[in-house]
């Protein structure tokens, strides 16, 4: 079975907004900075540099002898 994942931000925007609000409420209750999910996630995915080395994981595993497809 082959599945090609496709995502449409338009169909999920309302749910993302609600999740951001819930997370911000929780963060506020816990005395944390209220950044929300998108505020924390987008910078982590913005570029290869923001991946802090995770973009080189396949190469590192191959160098250790792990056969990856």
Q: Which residue has the higher pLDDT, 16 or 8?
A: 16
Mean predicted confidence (pLDDT) in 8-13: 75
- pLDDT score for 2: 74
Mean predicted confidence (pLDDT) in 23-51: 85
| pLDDT single digits (tens) 12-23 | 788 888 999 999
Is 37 exposed, middle or buried (CB count within 10 Å of its CB: 0-12, 13-18, 19+)?
middle
This model's pTM is above 0.85: no
Instruction: Report the alpha-carbon distance of residue 38 to residue 18 in Å, rounded.
Output: 11
- pLDDT score for 50: 75
């Amino acid at each position: 079975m082959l599945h090609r994942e496709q995502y449409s931000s338009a169909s999920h925007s309302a749910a993302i907004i609600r999740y951001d609000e819930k997370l911000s409420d929780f963060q506020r209750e816990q005395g944390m900075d209220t950044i929300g999910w998108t505020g924390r996630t987008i910078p982590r995915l913005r570029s290869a540099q923001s991946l802090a080395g995770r973009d080189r994981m396949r190469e590192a595993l191959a160098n250790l002898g792990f056969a990856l497809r």
